[in-house]
Structure formats: C-alpha cells, structure tokens
Amino acid sequence: MRVLVKLSGEALSGEGGRGFDPERVDYIVKEIKSAIEEGFKIGIVVGAGNLFRGVELKNLTMTRADQIGLLGTVMNSVYLKDIFERSGLKARIYSQIVNLPDVERVNYDSIESALRENSILIFAGGTSNPFFTTDTAAVLRAQEMKAKLVVKATKVDGVYDKDPKKFPDAKKIPHLTFSEAMKMGLKVMDAEAFALCKKLGITVKVINFFEPGTLLKALKGEDVGSTVVPD
Ligand code: UDP
C-alpha cells in the first residue's frame, strides 16, 4: 500500500524548537523504517516550521517570506535523505523548485521506479508556490504517487472537538468527514488541502506520531488516531 506521510518541520526539532534534534530525527527514521520493512511504500512531505515559516517573517513581503519557507522544506528534505541513507534505507528527493545535485524533478516514471526499489520519496518545496502550506502539498504529492492515504503526523492522538491542551473536557472524534471538520472549524488541515482531498477522494489519518509504533498501526488499519474521509 502507498501512503504519504506529512511531517511538520517541528517533528525534526521538537515542539517550538529550531534546527534538528538528532534524537527526534532518529525516531522518525525508526518509525519510517518499520513501515518500509512491512512493505508499505512511503512518500514524505516535510514542512519547515523548524527553520522558517512564511507567516513568521512578518517584515517581509509574503511572496518572499514563502519562498524562504519553501527553501526550508528543501533543507529538511536533504537532511532527511542523508539520515535515511545512513540507516540503510533508500531515499530520493523530488522537487520542482530547485536544481541541486540530490534533487530530481517530479517525474512520474521515476517515482514508479523509485517505489519499485523501495525508496522513500521525499517531496521538497511544497506545492512550489507561495500562499500554500505543506498540508496541501501532501495531498497533491499523495495523488502524484498514487496514494489514497495521507497520514498527518502530529503530537496529538487524533482530532478533538476543541483543543485538548486547553480544555480537559475535549472529546476525540475518531471518524469524521471533511465537511464536518470544516463546519466545526477544526484545524486538521487548511481548506485548500481539504478541498483537494474531497476532489481526489483521499483519506487523511491524524495520528500521534510520537507514540512509538502508531504509524505502523495506522497503516495496518488499526483503530488509532482519527480518520477524515471525503463525504
Ligand atoms: N510554503 C509555501 N508553499 C507551499 C508550502 C509551504 O509557500 O506550498 C512555505 C510557507 O511559507 C510555509 C513554509 O513554506 O510557512 C513551511 O511550510 P509549513 O508552514 O506547511 O510547515 P510546517 O508547519 O508543516 O512545519
């Protein structure tokens, strides 16, 4: 089965952190490795919150700030490729925005052959455009690698009716549709990502990635996290 895993930049640094935390990155490698060993075909879209987010660069024009954010996703992708390969995994980076020796243009034939050889596909550079997020990129790249599932790796074990950190009575919603999530104003993904999921029939699973073994459980269809389905 093919799956796209969306990692936020902070997955590499720790919450609120900057740069790379080697322990965190080792953990990511371990979780992805166990999925590859079980035969899952993995694509990754990584954010850049550990380096730069466009919205945080408030003194810049948004188009420029977002280009800096996009470049951050490329840095994270190059970092991940190296760490995956040092762990004995194969990994290839695809992007439309840079010309670097380790980065290939998105090419569907190349993606297919990379998946045949069990390479991890790392998609860098978001959607290639400012004004989007890497959540939207995750859905776009999922479709391009013919995956019908996006796993959103978070630090919360699913979707809640209100912020479980602020409200002790927050209730987990294990199954919902994109329309329900939108109506309830739940911040699972941005509206553009949802719209694309609905159009393409892609399911999103929100999991607590930092609970060991949860990624594999989610891929095996076990009842972890929350599942958001097209209506
Ligand atoms: N970005 C962009 N277009 C995209 C994806 C990302 O301009 O298609 C920029 C944007 O500035 C964003 C940054 O890259 O803030 C990092 O992405 P994101 O905020 O999604 O990262 P995450 O919060 O998941 O770490």
pLDDT at 165: 85
Q: How far is the CA of 38 from the centre of ligand 1 (A)?
A: 30
Q: How far is the CA of 143 from the centre of ligand 1 (A)?
A: 19
User: DSSP of 165-179, one letter per residue?
Assistant: TT-TT--EESEEEHH
Q: What's the pLDDT band for 28 if we cut at 50, 70, 90?
A: very high
**For 172-201, how does the pLDDT look when each residue is reduced to its tens digit (9 = 90+)?**
999 999 999 988 888 889 999 999 999 999
Q: Which residue has the higher pLDDT, 188 or 39?
A: 39
End-to-end CA distance of the chain: 22
Residues flanking ligand 1, CB < 6 Å: 8-10, 47-49, 53-55, 65-66, 69-70, 72-73, 126-127, 129-130, 132-134, 137
Judge whether 138 and 153 are in contact, CB under 8 Å: no
CA of 137, closest atom in ligand 1:
8
pLDDT over 90 (residue 21): yes
Lowest mean pLDDT among 52-61, 145-154, 209-218: 52-61
Please tell me whether the overall predicted TM-score, pTM, comes out greater than 0.85 for this model.
yes
Residues near 130 by Cβ (< 8 Å), separated by ≥ 6? Answer: 54, 62, 63, 65, 66, 67, 70
Full set of structural domains in the chain with CATH: 2-229 (3.40.1160.10)
Q: How far is the CA of 39 from the centre of ligand 1 (A)?
A: 30
- Helix (H) or strand (E) segment spanning residue 207: strand 203-208
Q: How many whole angstroms from its chain centre is CA 8?
A: 6
Q: What's the pLDDT band for 128 if we cut at 50, 70, 90?
A: very high
Question: Which residue is closest in CA terms to ligand 1's atom 17?
Answer: 47
**For 59-91, how does the pLDDT look when each residue is reduced to its tens digit (9 = 90+)?**
999 999 999 999 999 999 999 999 999 999 999
